[in-house]
């Protein structure tokens, strides 16, 4: 369990992230997938990360210091960027800078909506993670909306899609910020990877 969670800073660029030697456990996914809600659920602090009904509002990297020991990081939602700052990957520069270049990043959770088919952009992002060798896992969100059989099917569908391309499957966890599902499993998983 998390005893203490505090907002540390918002960064617009990689140069602004904290420079202590602590590790980042980051969350990413499409806008509205439930990143901020999950951070609030995991920390037990309702208003810590801003939950928004309007997609695409958060364009900053938000660092939350957990128990003075590590950071939970709320990343901007991804979508294909359309500006001149585009990189070849099609993801915004702030995201690719942080995810592919920042040494602070210890583990990345890719959040995907459990209720919908694997989306091209999620699969494309996951492919980039594989290519760059970034350690990551998948967290399915809003799982209280599904029966346990449907949740199993979601995991199976993803496993099938990913195994078309990868030999090894990433860890996959289910969650619901609405009812706390997955809290203990996710925190235990994080505990383990921080050791």
Ligand X SMILES: Nc1nc2c(ncn2[C@@H]2O[C@H](COP(=O)(O)OP(=O)(O)O)[C@@H](O)[C@H]2O)c(=O)[nH]1
Nearer Cβ to Mg ion (77/182): 77
Q: In the complex with ligand X, which residue's Cβ is closer, 32 or 96?
A: 32
| Phi, psi (rounded to 5 degrees) for 14 | -60, -35
Query: Which stretch in 3-11, 57-65, 111-119, 136-144 sits in contact with Mg ion by CB under 5 A?
Result: 57-65
| Residues in CB range of 134: below 8 A, 6 or more apart | 99, 100, 105, 108
Decide if residue 104 touches ligand X (CB under 6 A). no
Interacting partner of 22 out of ligand X, Mg ion, none (Cβ under 5 to 8 A depending on kind): none
Short-list 12, 4, 58, 66, CA closest to 35:
58
Q: Which of 28, 33, 43, 58 binds Mg ion (CB under 5 A)?
A: 58
Nearest approach, Cβ of residue 58 and Mg ion (Å): 5
The answer to whether 170 and 136 have CB atoms below 8 angstroms apart is yes
Residues 140-179 contacting ligand X, CB under 6 A: 141-142, 144-145, 176-178
**Would you put residue 38 in left (φ > 0), alpha (ψ -120 to 50) or beta?**
alpha
Query: Please, are residues 78 and 30 in contact by the beta-carbon 8 Å criterion?
Result: yes
* Residues numbered 5-44 forming contacts with ligand X, rule: CB under 6 A: 29, 31-37
CB of 164 to ligand X, least distance (A): 27
Residues that bind Mg ion (CB under 5 A): 35-36, 58
């Amino acid at each position: 369990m998390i005893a203490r969670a505090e907002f540390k800073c918002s960064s617009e660029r990689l140069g602004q992230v904290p420079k202590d030697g602590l590790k980042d456990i980051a969350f990413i996914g499409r806008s509205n997938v439930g990143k901020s809600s999950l951070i609030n659920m995991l920390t037990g602090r309702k208003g810590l990360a801003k939950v928004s009904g309007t997609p695409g509002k958060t364009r900053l990297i938000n660092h939350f210091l957990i128990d003075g020991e590590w950071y939970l990081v709320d990343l901007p939602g991804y979508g294909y960027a359309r500006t001149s700052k585009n990189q070849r990957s099609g993801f915004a520069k702030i995201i690719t800078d942080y995810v592919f270049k920042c040494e602070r990043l210890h583990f990345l959770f890719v959040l995907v909506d459990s209720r919908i088919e694997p989306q091209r952009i999620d699969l494309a992002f996951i492919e980039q993670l594989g290519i760059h060798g970034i350690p990551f896992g998948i967290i399915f969100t809003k799982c209280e909306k599904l029966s346990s059989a449907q949740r199993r099917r979601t995991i199976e569908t993803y496993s099938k899609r990913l195994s078309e391309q990868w030999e090894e499957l990433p860890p996959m966890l289910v969650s619901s910020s609405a009812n706390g599902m997955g809290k203990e499993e996710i925190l235990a998983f994080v505990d383990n990877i921080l050791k």
